[in-house]
Amino acid sequence: MTITISEAPGAPVVTVVGELDIYTAPALSEAISGLIRAGVYEVVADLTRVEFLDSTGLGVLVGALKTIQAHDGSLQLVVTEQRLFKLFSITGLTKVFVIHDSVETALANPTAGAEGGQPPPADHEPVVPST
Q: CATH number of the domain that 44 lies in?
A: 3.30.750.24
Q: Is 103 a domain residue?
A: yes
Q: Is 129 a domain residue?
A: no
Q: Is 128 a domain residue?
A: no
- Residue of 30, 47, 61, 20 lying closest to 101 (CA atoms): 47
Instruction: Quick: pLDDT tens for 96-109.
Output: 999 999 999 999 97
Percentage, residues of the chain above pLDDT 90: 81
Q: Is 124 a domain residue?
A: no
Q: Is 38 a domain residue?
A: yes
The count of domains in the chain is 1
Please say if the pLDDT value at position 10 is more than 50. yes
User: How far apart are alpha carbons 43 and 128 in whole angstroms?
Assistant: 27
Instruction: Quick: pLDDT tens for 55-89.
Output: 999 999 999 999 999 999 999 999 999 999 999 99
pLDDT score, position 16: 98
Q: Is 20 a domain residue?
A: yes
- Residue of 47, 51, 19 lying closest to 126 (CA atoms): 51
Give the domain range for residue 68. 2-108
